[in-house]
Amino acid sequence: MSQYSHEPPRVMTRDEMERLLEKYSIGRLGLTFQNESYIVPVTYKYDQGRVFFHSAKQGKKVDFIKNNSRVCFEVDEYEKGWASVICYGTLNLREDIEAKKEFSEVFLGQKPSDELLKRMEYYIGIVQIEDMTGRCSSDFSF
């Protein structure tokens, strides 16, 4: 007998979707530019309707984001049944001290000095989630 249920998936509640986003630290960022799609894994932290991550200041990901800030973000689990959440929103790349400070507090749980924040040579990516959908197997549980 297969380990996967053949029952139709169920729609996840908002609370379940947020718990899944909070549980993990690696997700996939979906980008598009000039009829080309690009999916890249990122280490992230979810906090109050936003996804935070950091990025080098150059590369394909940054080029795509600068040309089209509309993104999707996906997280999934296959431990106890399966579950998948896809978020849709707008991504802002920031390098100001306030963004770095908020990132450090959310991502690292620390409040570094302004001197240290000024030396951080990367962008802070913040996805403002506008909509999300989630599906899971009927036997999925947290």
Question: 4-13, pLDDT tens digit by residue?
Answer: 556 789 999 9
45 inside domain: yes
59 inside domain: yes
Residue 32: helix, strand or coil by DSSP? strand
Contact 92, 73 (CB under 8 A): no
2 inside domain: no
Is it the case that residue 57 has pLDDT exceeding 90? yes
pLDDT average, residue stretch 87-105: 92
Contact 126, 50 (CB under 8 A): yes
- pTM for the model: 0.88
pLDDT average, residue stretch 12-38: 96
Count of domains for the chain:
1
Give me the pLDDT at residue 44, please: 97
1 inside domain: no
Alpha-carbon span 82 to 27, nearest angstrom: 15
141 inside domain: no
Is it the case that residue 73 has pLDDT exceeding 60? yes
**Domain with 83 in it:** 10-135
β pairing state of 10-11 and 36-43 = unpaired
